[in-house]
A and B are shown apart, each in its own frame.
Chain A
């Protein structure tokens, strides 16, 4: 056996997967079309955002790389939703498209047990229903115990611009032409998805005086729990905001039939993401909206492309010229790269387990866009989980499956394998029913212990976590012991708070929304993150307890396991739709079964009774 794990694809999923396996001491090969293209950001130059920013924190808590690399590549960073509540705060950064891949490549090269190789993989080697290696386009065979496919948009990808369709990957890269057909041959259901990216504009051709400036935050942030800031607040690069004009809308409507998606091409089968429609989609669907917001985002310090966020299109190049020139400040803009749409193959994700191992072929894992998701962060976290679980299986250990109440990563994977996808899947905070528990600030408290247990978090960082937990408890105890008496009423009234009749503990006083430790002029010798953690837990205790109670119900249902060998055809009382869905998805617990659409409460009751009868599974 040449390698223990082969990772196919060097994007954000592939890098995390390869790093996880190698760090867990498994001899790992990362195969990619071009080593210089490792960890590129083919679409927007940003990392994080609502929900996604929390995923980056989770990746970091578990011992993944994305947060650390992003911290080293910042052009600007913001905390989103600060005022909207603690559960929805998230970091969003503009990341340098040159620095990020460079730093990632450096990390990969420094990592022991990890080899990089340039090749296009076109087939798998399968023996007895298990994958044992891969085959390159030059028919070279490489053997391994496990394979992780992180092929991104590279499976039979077509670039669509106007009425042209070209078989190639993003930015002219070589796609894999046969791997998805071979997967189909092995029994996978293959779906076709589509996404798009907007124009890149030459920076010096833009008149920024006609735009509105968007700066980064004036306080320091880091994605990683272990990093100190690598940037200076005053050195952050701004973004700029502009709006479409009536002329833009007229040009688009007049030329609609030339867009690939509106008749320019008649063989479009890919389903595009609802959350990022093309500009023509937006104008057609929201006729009454007079203008649409566009952002000018810098891609790098090392070249001058500006990413035109919000202007994704599949119009022909001449129309794109007209469209871009109708925008304020872009009248004389030079388009360095035209917008395009890309179609690609993916596997329908109900065919994979919650470990990200496929149900059809043992030891084959898939992660990222091949599973129907979209976004760097979504890809990276799946890569990390696939890497962890592939390694754990090699070590004969129990897999790591994060629950919906533990991590956005858990929500994402559970959604994929339980519900499938209709269009490329993006994480949204609204997909998480326990988002109050899945906060930016507590990702380390939620997940670092798991990272330690699987071996991706070292002793030093683990001790730091234990120390934090201890200090949080300590501070809480101190707050309970500090009594505030009516002598403080002057200050309370000044803070707009009701005066006290009797003494209360500082802990209880902090429940009042308008009261904070600093406003009460109390200083404790703890780091800001510990004070934040404690204040937040006191202030929102009621809501958090409610969410925890709800989550407990979920945990109970998740603990009711369904055996792998269950034969749903034997349960005659099940509704036929439910039986078909259960057969397809094969949930591992009653909790997962409940989330399958088409499986009703009565079916769940019948299933529970059957389990008891056949397996003596009691609750």
Chain B
């Protein structure tokens, strides 16, 4: 009974479709859990099935799923392949769901290794496989150094430290019960300490900006007076990206006009224009709503008209966004320049002509620059590990929920500790630490014991 493994098996960020391969006894069951129709356990072997990947009720992607039952597969195990259409972010989200539902991220070369061990591949290839494992491990080891940024890694280390202190306290109560002068970790105290840890994990999940960009994309708000060309710009941006369907979480959902994909990263375009125009009667409400939207976005595009002078309203909008991450997009370069840019930050200006579809690539490049998309893209394994990290953090939160339920049910500390150890191990896997002696070392350094 081997683990069921999963990995993205196509190069990320290249091509419109990416394939996630899942192999192992549980492959069909696990994938089935995250589909909308939940019928994969009933379909024939070697069939392609149309379905949706869902998280609870939310649709993540529209997919084709190949189901191949053992033994006539690459690994001679059950294999499920998911063809995703939604770019890096969605593919990554699907992988994360698989990992959270019981798959393990495949080790370098593991599919090939399984194929060999199960007799699918010729013996002559054994050496090659061993080389492959070696080299892929080397690559992922190099990438692993960069996978979790320093500050996040420090946060996780700190969290593990507080957990191991609790664990050592519980262990010392168990292994040295006669030491009455050592404070006993009661389930009540555990409950308090665990809530702090839960909050920290949530913070890490939320603050992990890179993670958020990958998961939810970048929110870009378009603002500007009526008739500066917001709709035209939107249309230009959306023109060649109609294929993407993604449901976006968050407060801005209602206002998302469309989503584009810049080199695999999702960019949610939020048009504030509609609000202003429909609420024209009560001008101030419109402005307030726009401000809210702006505040919830990662980037604001202030659209100005090349063919008009700056108005007070333009200046008011500019004032509103001066502390935000913003770009000034001057539209209508096809018309005569009447705008005075002396009061504007020239580094932030992009000229476009929405009518002639000019300057759009420059705008996209600028957005890429701002969010370092190039850098993210080049190390595509970062995403793999990111999905893994996110899934590990979520599994930690699940385990903490179990602990809290256990406390509610008056379970003894020994049972609760099982889940706490699990959290400690899960967090350890994120930063690649799994040293068993750690706990025993902690026990003897934290407490004074002896005969």
Contact = CB atoms under 8 A, between A and B. Distances in A.
Interface of A: 43-44, 50-51, 80-81, 83-88, 92, 197-198, 241, 243, 274-279, 281-282, 285-286, 289, 291-293, 295, 309-310, 312, 428-431, 436, 512-514, 540, 543, 546-547, 552-553, 556, 571, 573, 597, 600-602, 605-606, 608-610, 612-613, 618-619
13 contacts: A50-B176, A84-B173, A84-B174, A84-B413, A275-B450, A282-B448, A285-B448, A428-B171, A513-B409, A597-B435, A601-B107, A606-B133, A609-B117
Interface string B387-410: 000000000000000000000011
A605 B109 contact: yes
A573 B134 contact: yes
Given A81-B174, A429-B174, A605-B133, A86 B414 contact: yes
B226 interface: no
Interface stretch (B201-209, B319-327, B437-445): B437-445
A88 B414 contact: yes
Most chain A CB atoms below 10 A, which of B108, B409, B448: B448
B130 A276 contact: no
B440 A431 contact: yes
B113 interface: yes
Given A50-B176, A573-B131, A84 B414 contact: yes
Interface string B115-155: 01111000100100111011001000000000000000000
B451 A312 contact: yes
A608 B131 contact: no
B415 A293 contact: no
Contacts of B413: 84-85
A295 B178 contact: yes
B450 A609 contact: no
Given A50-B176, A276-B449, A436-B418, 13 more contacts: A86-B412, A92-B178, A289-B448, A312-B450, A429-B174, A430-B443, A431-B440, A514-B410, A556-B2, A608-B113, A609-B126, A610-B130, A613-B126
B341 interface: no
Contacts of A619: 2, 117-118
B309 interface: no
A291 B181 contact: yes
A428 B440 contact: yes
Given A429-B171, A429-B174, A430-B443, A612 B448 contact: no
A608 B117 contact: yes
B250 interface: no
B257 interface: no
Contacts of A431: 440
Interface string B411-451: 11111001000000000000000010001100110001111
Given A50-B175, A87-B414, A429-B174, A282 B451 contact: no
A85 B450 contact: no
B250 to A, nearest CB: 35
B123 A613 contact: yes
Nearest to B422: A546
Contact of B451 (A81, A310, A429, A610): A310
A428 B441 CA distance: 12
B107 A293 contact: no
B180 interface: yes
Contacts of B440: 428, 430-431
A592 B427 CA distance: 24
Contacts of B130: 571, 573, 606, 609-610
A608 B379 CA distance: 29
Given A310-B451, A601-B107, A618 B118 contact: yes
A43 B171 CA distance: 24
A552 to B, nearest CB: 7
A293 B176 CA distance: 12
B117 A618 contact: yes
A430 B171 contact: yes
Nearest to B184: A84
B418 to A, nearest CB: 6
A95 to B, nearest CB: 15
A543 B415 contact: yes
Nearest to B177: A80
B110 interface: yes
Contacts of B410: 513-514
Given A286-B448, A310-B450, A618 B119 contact: yes
B450 A602 contact: no
A78 to B, nearest CB: 9
A292 B448 contact: yes
Most buried by A among B3, B123, B133, B411: B133
B450 A277 contact: yes
Contacts of A552: 1
B179 interface: yes
B171 to A, nearest CB: 5
A602 B137 contact: yes
Nearest to B137: A602
A80 B129 CA distance: 52
A605 B110 contact: yes
A601 B450 CA distance: 37
B126 A612 contact: yes
B429 to A, nearest CB: 12
Contacts of B451: 43-44, 197-198, 276, 309-310, 312
A311 to B, nearest CB: 9
B241 to A, nearest CB: 40
A243 B440 CA distance: 26
Given A85-B414, A279-B450, A602 B126 contact: no
B117 A275 contact: no
Contacts of A597: 435
A276 B173 CA distance: 16
Contacts of B179: 293
A293 B175 contact: no
B1 A553 contact: yes
Contacts of B415: 85, 87, 436, 540, 543
B380 to A, nearest CB: 20
Contacts of B134: 573, 602, 606
A430 to B, nearest CB: 5
A421 B181 CA distance: 29
Contact of B126 (A87, A277, A429, A610): A610
Contacts of B133: 573, 602, 605-606, 609
The residue in A282, A309, A513 that gathers the most chain B C-beta atoms within 10 A of its C-beta is: A513
Contacts of A309: 451
Contacts of B129: 609
6 cross-chain pairs, A with B, having the tightest CB-CB distances, nearest first: A85-B414, A85-B412, A613-B126, A602-B137, A573-B130, A276-B451
A292 B181 CA distance: 8
A436 B2 CA distance: 23
A408 to B, nearest CB: 12
Contacts of A543: 415, 418
Interface in B1-24: 1-3
Nearest to A435: B414
B167 to A, nearest CB: 8
B174 A513 contact: no
A602 B107 contact: yes
Contact of A84 (B118, B181, B412, B450): B412
Contacts of A198: 451
Contact of B450 (A86, A281, A546): A281
A605 B107 contact: yes
B171 A293 contact: no
A285 to B, nearest CB: 7
A84 B185 CA distance: 10
Given A430-B171, A612-B116, A618-B119, A602 B178 contact: no
A69 B175 CA distance: 24
Contacts of B110: 605
A600 B434 CA distance: 11
Given A436-B418, A609-B116, A83 B444 contact: no
A500 B254 CA distance: 44
A574 to B, nearest CB: 9
Contact of A276 (B171, B180, B450): B450
